Structure formats: structure tokens, C-alpha cells
Structure 1
Amino acid sequence: MLYALLCVSLFAAPGGADHAPEPPRPGATVTAAPPADSVDVARLSPEEAAAFLAETPDAVVVDVRTPAEVAASGRLAGAIVLDVTAPGFETRALNALDLDRPLLVYCRSGTRAERAARRLAVLGASRLANAGGFDALAAAGLATEPYTP
């Protein structure tokens, strides 16, 4: 039954049957990640982000702005800088992050953080949140530090 449902969903993909992938072989293990735009990511206020970090000491903070942006304004203390607009974001994220740990993602305004968080969810991160923009987080009292690429 699951095999039949999988085949139906594969052939109902946009682009019609002419562009549908081959159905899986019987007995093959199939894992399908949700499309990035279908992943729901929690958006936290600066105060909620601060509380999240206080309550989740194993959380990893990820700054997805460009290195030039981060160098100009600094980063949240201890944040890992992974430019979401640079080629190879997924590969760099897999090499730099433990996707089993909680992730708090931010950028300048929250737009790129949303996109990055959805892409990280597709890679397997399940505990993540969009903290919005750096300036609001810094104004809310989260510790910052200089950054040199």
C-alpha cells in the first residue's frame, strides 16, 4: 500500500508523467525530504530567542549573513557564520553543524534566516528556529562579538 501511494505521489509531481522520476524498485528503501518551501519554521521574537538560548544550553547559533555583513556589525557571541547566499551552503552546513542539536538561525531581518532554516530542515535538522534580525537581537541584550572572516 505504501509503495502504491509513493508511486502515485511521484507521478503526480509537477511537470506531468513525462518528467516523473522512475518508480522505486520493490524492496528499495525510499527516503524523501519535504520541499524546503513546505517546512514550517518557528519565528521567535528577540525576547523569545534570548529565552530559548537560556533554556537550551546546547543550542547552536547560526548567522547566515555574508561574511562582509558580519564583519561590519559583528555577530552573536559564538555564532557560526554560514552565508546562505553562497554556493555550497548545504555542504558547508553539513560539515559545520550537528543537525541533531537545536539550531537558532538569524540574518539581518529574518528573511534569509527563514530560507536557511527551511534548507537545514530538509537536510535533517528538526529542532530549529528563526530568530529574525541581528540588530533586534543585539538591542534585546544578546551578547555580541566582533568577527573577522
Structure 2
Amino acid sequence: MKALMFNHALELFSRHALRQNYPDVGYEELSRKVMEYAQGVPSALKVLGCFLFEREKEVWENAIKKLRRILHPSIQEVLKLSYDGLDDKEKNIFLDVACFLNGEDVYSVMKFLDTSGFYPEIGIILIDKSLIAVSCNKITMHDLLQGLGREIVQQKSIDPRNRS
């Protein structure tokens, strides 16, 4: 059973990181290490896979080193790698979805982002990186990613009145 679950997780990760079902020669061990830190959580596997897509082995190795420095790896810390790779506008959109827009109508969200000075098409990058999704014309975000976004906002300012 464990082998079947591992193979399924490996295939899921490989589809996002390499756009194929299994890792190429030279990427097997790197893939196994990334999967170990993702703890088999599908959203973490997708996010890390998208983050590593079309990146050189050196980027994979650096990401694994960063994960190893985390003493007690948690899924949120693993997912934060992709958040850290976003530019400022992308980060703001991610946080807006996590705190206010999750589950809202996609067209209303696009209009809100446009009137807020963000370029709604930036959100497509968040979809490509599996940080948000569109389902039944609604913007959706996995609970783990929403929790990460909310924690990031809380860490920015202890006093809730000063939070953006």
C-alpha cells in the first residue's frame, strides 16, 4: 500500500515539476527528497512541482538545502517556498485571496483586482503555480495555502489594526 501511495505521489509531483509521469535520470533522488518534505500532501507536491518546473538541478538542490534547514518541517513551511518566489504584486494578490477572496466569483475578483491597481492577469501566474484555482467560476485556494496566507499577514503586524 505504501509503495502504491509513493508511486502516486511521485507521479503527481513529476507531472507538475517535469510535465511527465516519472522523473528523468538524475532527478529521481532529488524528487524523492522533495516528496519527503512535502509529506505526501497533494497541494504541497503540486506547489513544489510548479515551483521547480523548468528549473536547473542547482535550483532543485538549493530548494532541498533550504528545506533541510527547517528543523521541524511543516507543510506550511514547505508551501512558503513558492510564496517567497513571487514578486510583490503576486504576493499581494495571493494574500488578498487567502484573506478575503477565496470562494468568490472569478469575474468579481478580476474587477476588484483591476480597480485596486493590480493586473488581474497576474493571477494566472498563481494558477500556473497551483497557488489558486478556478472552479465553477469561483476563485479557490486550498485550506493549507489559505492558512499560510493568513499566517503571513498576522506575522507582518501583531496589532490587527495595522494589518493590510
Q: Does the pair score TM above 0.5?
A: no
Which is helix-richer, 1 or 2?
A: 2
Higher gyration radius (CA): 1
TM-score when normalising by structure 1 = 0.33
Greater relative contact order, per chain length (Cα 8 Å cut-off, separation 6+)? 1
